[in-house]
Amino acid sequence: MRILVVEDDALVADAIRRGLETAGYAVDRVESAEHATGALAAEAFDLAIVDIGLPGIDGLSLLQRLRRDGLALPVLILTARDGLADRVNALDLGADDYLVKPFALPELVARCRALIRRSRSAASAQLAIGPLVLDLGAHRVIVGDSEVELTRREWAVLECLALNAGRVVAKDRLLQAIANWDAEIGANAIEVYVSRVRSKLGNSVPIRTVRGIGYRLDESAR
C-alpha cells in the first residue's frame, strides 16, 4: 500500500513518513499541490494525506481539482486551523476524513488504515481466500492453522494480490505497492518477493505467474 503525503513542513512530513513506514506503508512526499497533481497522474497511490496550508495552491483547492478530474482515491486532509468552516469545506469538497494538527501519529495511522480498507470495500479487516486469512489491520497472515511471518515488503506484495484476488496484478503495480521513490528496487525484485511469499505460504495458496504481465492469486480454493 502506497501513500502520498502532500506537506510543505519537513518536520511534520518526516514524522508522518516514519509513522506510516513503521506501520508497513510505502510513503512518498511532495511539498506542493503542483507536484502532487503530477505524482498522482503518474503513479498509483492508495491514499493521499493533504495539508491545507501549502505554498501556492492550497490543499482544499488541490482536493477540489482532484475530485473534478475524477480521482477517487481516499484523501485525508490535515489542517492546523481548527475552524469548523475548513473541516466542513474539506468534507464537502470530497475529503474522506480530516485531522486537526497537532495530532497523535497512532491516530493518523489508524485513520489511514480505515480509509484504505473502506476504499477497498472490504467490510471487515479480515480477508479470507481459501486457507489464507489476512488480517489487514494487524498485518497477520494465517494459512490453515499456522501463522506465517512475512517481512514488510512480502506483506505488501501479498496484500496487493489478495485485495485483487482472481485478477492479474501487473508487476509495475506490485512494485508501486512496495517501493517509494527513494528505494532502489528493480522490477526483478518483484520476482524475488513473490517467490519468497510463495515458499512461505506453501502450495495451498496458489500465486500464478501470468507470463509477461504479472501475478494472480487464485480464488479457486475459496
**Concatenated DSSP letters of 47-102:** EEEEES--SSS-HHHHHHHHHHTT--S-EEEEES---HHHHHHHHHTT-SEEEESS
Report if residue 51 touches Ca ion, rule: CB under 5 A: yes
Of 21-29, 43-51, 169-177, 206-214, which part binds Ca ion (CB under 5 A)? 43-51
Question: What is the smallest separation between the CB atom of 176 and Ca ion, expressed in angstroms?
Answer: 26
Q: 32: closest CA among 44, 12, 50? A: 50
Contact 24, 152 (CB under 8 A): yes
Question: What is the smallest separation between the CB atom of 53 and Ca ion, expressed in angstroms?
Answer: 4
Report if residue 58 touches Ca ion, rule: CB under 5 A: no
CA–CA distance, 109 with 21 (Å, rounded to integer): 10
Question: What is the smallest separation between the CB atom of 86 and Ca ion, expressed in angstroms?
Answer: 13
Task: Give the cell for residue 204.
Answer: 495451498
Of 24-32, 44-52, 175-183, 190-198, which part binds Ca ion (CB under 5 A)? 44-52
Q: Which is nearer to Ca ion, 103 or 209 (CB)?
A: 103
Cα 184–185–187 angle (5° rounding)?
A: 145
Give the residue closest to Ca ion by C-beta: 53
Mask 146-165, x = binds Ca ion (CB under 5 A)? --------------------
Report if residue 53 touches Ca ion, rule: CB under 5 A: yes
Task: Tell me which of 9, 58, 135, 218 binds Ca ion, using CB under 5 A.
Answer: 9
CA–CA distance, 82 with 99 (Å, rounded to integer): 9
Interface residue list for Ca ion (CB under 5 A): 8-9, 51, 53
